[in-house]
């Protein structure tokens, strides 16, 4: 290699002037613009912001800030968390960015990969990553690890004329290669260019939430339009009163739900980050909980890319004791010019010396054996280590190694044979072609792929909760199956090879993908095809990988998972990155996802029960002609049951196995609760308005409150009749506000029943914390109604202790009726639905902790 000089400085400058520079910028994470665009410019945010501007145009600044403020908070939380993930990934990429040595003007120079020009001579030494494509030049040779590209773990020997592909690594040896395909022309770049754009896929829960919110927005818009048209054209209602009513209707849109969803995702992201998993988008944790098929690569994902020496069994045909053979083998591994994963495993497992050798044949993936000859007193002759199938032709005819080989293979172990010829000293002929003499087998050796810590426990945990694991690799399917057995998968798993898969028509691919577990000799395009087939079968698929060959399939999967040590392209498109390559981090991430779903379902139940009930009350009370159900200020009372408590419920949520689809669980709870609340509410409003409860309660509205209310409504309050009507309307609204607040707090108890007696709308929880929160909020509500200043702030009249206690008791009766409806399954019976079984179940999720 001494005759190589590389490009001159002038030649480099000429190529730079022509733009022949490796200046491609592989994305290692999402851009800031992508993050902001996704979180700001979506349909629901735009609608809610338009509503906010409409309220401002009506002069309702407070209402506009209260509604759109939560939208901005949600945007801030989401953007902050995703930018945090981006910066972490960029830091990982920066730390792992290689420095390259090139030969220029006859000397080696260290440069950034982006400064490589076409025809540069790149120096490759152990540990170096190949960043551009090109042929080997000169007489050097090296063993390359191409597992990130092909998925195969075997090292590949590269010599003069052989092509090096970007994305591979040098394990041993030294060589030079010419940079021919640079920038976007490189192999790794072409493989990943179709996956550059980061796509955000909504989870089923997000789709359900979006659907419900769109329905509520449409309903609110329709109600506001009808109210405006009827009031303005037929009832001659004042503009101020119409604006107030519109603000109340718009207030039924659960803005807080957006904020709670964002906070829930952010909390989950922080929790699993502490366990070693980094999320690139907030919904990734929840998406993981929906997965029912986990596809994973083998090399570098389930395994650590290291081999472990297991056992040496001396063969009875020789008289050498095991100690002698072990020392010979340890010496053989230490004396070789080049080392690979197998020889490193031998060195770590056996003692030996480093002797000078007479002749050598290095390992190659084609031969699958290596050999050394020694002329030492302790060790004389030719010694060979390799695959039994490649060496059996050199053994005596009566040699039978099959029983031991098959026994180890059944355990998922790799098997090599160590053999020798006592007199041979030359292994290469006059043409430097290797040849072997007749050999005597000395011992059989077993090796195992080193699984990542907790791999078996994690796979068992996923199996317990119904997640099917499929291993997709570039290795031989039999080798992959052996590893699968080590990882705890059953013996009767189906195997399919890449060539076999190529023959399967698209219409049959889903069935083949579902039936089999091991897929070997699979190309990157076939991985993508398998993921598509599984998704077409209705499965939610997660794909885990670390190499460039996994990028396309990670993009196709519902959840893409990458190792930190994987390629930058893989980390860039992954939804979740396992820090420190911690496979065990998947387990808490899955549990956290289940907790996210559980918490979101509980919160959506609360928000929808409140929204449905309010909508029914607005329509029903408006039809009675007795005024309007609420004022905007009174809506602020909802903070006590759908403002602060949902945050705690999101924090305290526990993983659950759902008894049905989320929307069925939500509607089964929310609709009966809303209808019963509305029926009671109409009676309470009407009763307080007409004075039906005068004999039980002493109620009044201050002149200041009446004057403010009249001014806000744009109506006169001069005659006794006008004042009496306004007073009755304010008192009725106050009583209704108290009742709906107490019912909302009771809903919290029903969502997380602390005792079995209260379980009906949801399964028994046993968690006392939500109930204590509801009790605390109830005390706060009593204080609000008892304090004149707080009553004024919320536009509430004085209904006295008796009136407040009456509304509280009526709320308890309402709750009892709700509990009865849930327990008797009257809602399901009315709609001819199968009753839900919500009894407490022993869930395997708890064993996953």
Which domains occur in the chain, in start order?
A: 1-30+101-185 (2.70.150.10), 269-303+453-582 (3.40.50.1000), 311-445 (3.40.1110.10), 591-848 (1.20.1110.10)
Q: Which candidate, 164, 118, 137, 129, places its Cα nearest to that of 7?
A: 118
Q: What is the mean pLDDT of each run of 10 residues along the chain (849 residues)?
A: 79 91 64 77 72 69 63 74 69 62 90 89 84 90 74 73 86 86 81 54 76 78 70 54 58 70 79 82 82 85 81 81 92 87 89 91 77 91 91 89 83 85 81 84 89 82 87 80 81 87 92 93 85 93 82 85 77 81 84 88 90 87 79 80 87 80 87 96 92 65 68 63 79 93 96 90 88 96 92 85 92 96 90 71 48
Which contiguous run of DSSP H or E holds residue 393? none
Q: Give the count of beta carbons closer than 10 Å to the beta carbon of residue 400.
A: 10
Distance, in Å, from the CA atom of 849 to the CA atom of 845, rounded to the nearest integer, reads: 7
Which contiguous run of DSSP H or E holds residue 122? strand 121-124
Distance, in Å, from the CA atom of 774 to the CA atom of 753, rounded to the nearest integer, reads: 12
Q: Which candidate, 265, 272, 82, 287, places its Cα nearest to that of 205?
A: 287
Distance, in Å, from the CA atom of 233 to the CA atom of 238, rounded to the nearest integer, reads: 11
Q: What is the pLDDT of residue 713?
A: 58
Placement of tokens 């590893």 in the chain: 483
Q: What is the pLDDT of residue 412?
A: 65
Distance, in Å, from the CA atom of 408 to the CA atom of 475, rounded to the nearest integer, reads: 19
User: What is the three-state SS of 164-189?
Assistant: ECCCCEEEEEEEEEECCECHHHCHHH
Q: What is the pLDDT of residue 251?
A: 61
Find how far residue 300's CA is from the centre of its chain: 19
Q: 76 and 40 in contact (C-beta within 8 Å)?
A: no
Q: 166 and 131 in contact (C-beta within 8 Å)?
A: yes
Category of 323 on φ-ψ map: left (φ > 0), alpha (ψ -120 to 50) or beta: alpha
Kindly give the residue spans of alpha helices, DSSP state H, lying in 577-661.
Answer: 586-624, 632-635, 639-642, 645-652
Work out whether strand 100-104 and strand 121-124 pair parallel, antiparallel, or are unpaired: antiparallel
Burial (CB < 10 A; 0-12, 13-18, 19+), residue 497, is middle
Q: What is the pLDDT of residue 394?
A: 92
This model's pTM is above 0.95: no
**Dihedrals φ, ψ of 667, to 5°?**
-70, -35
Kindly give the residue spans of alpha helices, DSSP state H, lying in 691-766.
Answer: 703-713, 720-751
Q: Which candidate, 380, 459, 393, 456, places its Cα nearest to that of 420?
A: 380
Q: Which candidate, 177, 134, 179, places its Cα nearest to that of 1?
A: 177
Q: What is the pLDDT of residue 418?
A: 95
3-state helix, strand, coil in the chain (%, to 5): 55, 15, 30
Q: What is the pLDDT of residue 333?
A: 94
Find how far residue 403's CA is from the centre of its chain: 45
**Dihedrals φ, ψ of 451, to 5°?**
-70, 150
Q: Name the β-bridge partners of 530.
A: none
3-state secondary structure (DSSP) of residue 542:
strand
Q: 465 and 422 in contact (C-beta within 8 Å)?
A: no
**Dihedrals φ, ψ of 441, to 5°?**
-70, 130
Work out whether strand 303-314 and strand 369-375 pair parallel, antiparallel, or are unpaired: unpaired
Q: What is the pLDDT of residue 1?
A: 43
Work out whether strand 518-520 and strand 468-472 pair parallel, antiparallel, or are unpaired: parallel
Distances in Å between the alpha carbon of 201 and those of 198, 282, 764?
10, 11, 33
Q: Which candidate, 213, 201, 210, places its Cα nearest to that of 287?
A: 201
Q: What is the pLDDT of residue 196?
A: 45
């Amino acid at each position: 290699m001494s005759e190589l000089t590389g490009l001159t400085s002038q030649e480099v400058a000429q190529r730079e002037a022509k733009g022949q520079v490796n200046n491609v910028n592989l994305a290692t994470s999402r851009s800031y613009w992508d993050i902001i665009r996704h979180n700001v410019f979506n349909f629901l945010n735009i609608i809610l912001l338009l509503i906010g501007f409409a309220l401002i145009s009506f002069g309702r600044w407070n209402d506009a800030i209260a509604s759109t403020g939560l939208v901005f908070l949600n945007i801030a939380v989401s953007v902050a968390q995703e930018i945090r993930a981006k910066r972490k990934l960029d830091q990982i990429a920066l730390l792992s960015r290689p420095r390259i040595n090139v030969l220029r003007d006859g000397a080696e120079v260290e440069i950034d990969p982006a400064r490589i020009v076409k025809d540069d001579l790149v120096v490759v030494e152990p540990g170096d990553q190949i960043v551009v494509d090109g042929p080997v030049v000169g007489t050097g040779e090296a063993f390359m690890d191409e597992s990130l590209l092909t998925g195969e773990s075997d090292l590949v020997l590269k010599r003069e004329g052989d092509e090096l592909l970007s994305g591979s690594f040098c394990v041993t040896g030294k060589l030079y290669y010419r940079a021919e395909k640079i920038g976007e022309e490189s192999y790794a770049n072409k493989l990943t260019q179709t996956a550059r754009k980061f796509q955000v896929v909504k989870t089923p829960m997000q789709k359900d939430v979006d659907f419900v919110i769109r329905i509520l927005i449409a309903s609110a818009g329709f109600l506001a339009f009808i109210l405006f048209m009827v009031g303005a054209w037929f009832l001659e209602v004042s503009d101020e009163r119409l604006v107030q009513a519109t603000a109340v209707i718009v207030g039924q849109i659960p803005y807080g739900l957006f904020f709670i969803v964002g906070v829930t995702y952010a909390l989950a992201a922080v929790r699993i980050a502490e366990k070693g998993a980094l999320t690139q988008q907030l919904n990734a944790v929840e998406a993981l909980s929906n997965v029912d098929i986990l596809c994973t690569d083998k090399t570098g994902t389930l395994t650590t890319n290291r081999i472990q020496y297991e056992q040496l069994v001396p063969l009875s045909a020789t008289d050498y004791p095991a100690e002698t053979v072990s020392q010979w083998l340890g010496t053989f591994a230490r004396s070789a010019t080049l080392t690979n994963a197998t020889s490193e495993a031998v060195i770590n497992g056996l003692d030996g010396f480093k002797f000078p050798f007479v002749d050598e044949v290095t390992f190659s993936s084609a031969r699958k054996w290596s050999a050394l000859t020694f002329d030492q007193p302790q060790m004389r002759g030719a010694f060979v280590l390799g695959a039994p199938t490649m060496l059996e032709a050199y053994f005596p005819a009566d040699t039978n190694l099959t029983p031991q080989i098959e026994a180890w293979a059944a355990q998922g172990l790799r098997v090599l044979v160590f053999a020798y010829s006592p007199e041979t000293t030359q292994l290469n002929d006059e043409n430097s072609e290797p040849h072997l003499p007749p050999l005597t087998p000395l011992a059989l050796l077993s090796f195992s792929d080193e699984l990542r810590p907790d791999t078996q426990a994690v796979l068992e945990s996923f199996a317990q909760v119904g997640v099917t694991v499929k291993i997709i690799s570039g290795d031989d399917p039999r080798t992959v199956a052996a590893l699968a057995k080590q990882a705890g998968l059953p013996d009767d798993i189906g195997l399919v090879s890449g060539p076999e898969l190529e023959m399967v028509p698209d219409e049959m691919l889903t069935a083949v993908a579902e039936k089999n577990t091991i897929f070997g000799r699979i190309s990157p395009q076939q991985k993508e095809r398998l993921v598509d087939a599984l998704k077409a079968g209705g499965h939610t698929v997660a794909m885990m990988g670390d190499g460039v060959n996994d990028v396309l399939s990670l993009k196709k999967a519902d959840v893409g998972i990458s190792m930190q040590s994987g390629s930058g392209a893989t980390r860039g498109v992954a939804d979740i990155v396992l820090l420190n390559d911690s496979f065990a981090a998947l387990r808490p991430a899955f549990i956290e996802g289940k907790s996210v779903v559980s918490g979101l379902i509980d919160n959506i139940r609360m928000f929808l029960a409140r929204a449905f009930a309010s909508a029914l009350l607005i329509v029903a009370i408006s039809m009675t002609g007795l005024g309007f159900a609420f004022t905007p200020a009174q809506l602020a009372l909802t903070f006590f049951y759908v403002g602060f408590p949902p945050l705690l419920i999101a924090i305290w949520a526990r993983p659950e196995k759902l008894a049905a689809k989320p929307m069925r669980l939500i509607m089964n709870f929310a609709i009966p609760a809303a209808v019963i609340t509305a029926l009671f509410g109409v009676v309470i409003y009407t009763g307080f308005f007409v004075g039906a409860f005068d004999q039980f309660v002493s109620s009044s509205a201050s002149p200041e409150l009446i004057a403010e209310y009249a001014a806000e409504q744009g109506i006169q309050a001069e005659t006794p009749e006008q004042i009496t009507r306004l007073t009755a309307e304010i008192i009725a609204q106050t009583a209704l506000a108290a009742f709906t607040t107490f019912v909302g707090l009771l809903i919290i108890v029903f969502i997380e029943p602390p005792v079995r007696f209260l379980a009906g709308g949801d399964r028994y929880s046993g968690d006392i914390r939500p109930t204590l929160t509801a009790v605390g909020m109830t005390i706060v509500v009593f204080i609000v109604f008892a304090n004149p200043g707080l009553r004024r702030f919320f536009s509430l009249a004085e209904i006295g202790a008796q009136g407040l206690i009456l509304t509280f008791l009526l709320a308890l009766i309402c709750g009892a009726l709700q509990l009865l409806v849930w327990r008797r399954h009257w809602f399901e019976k009315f709609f001819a639905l199968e009753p839900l079984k919500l009894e407490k179940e022993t869930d395997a999720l708890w064993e996953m902790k």
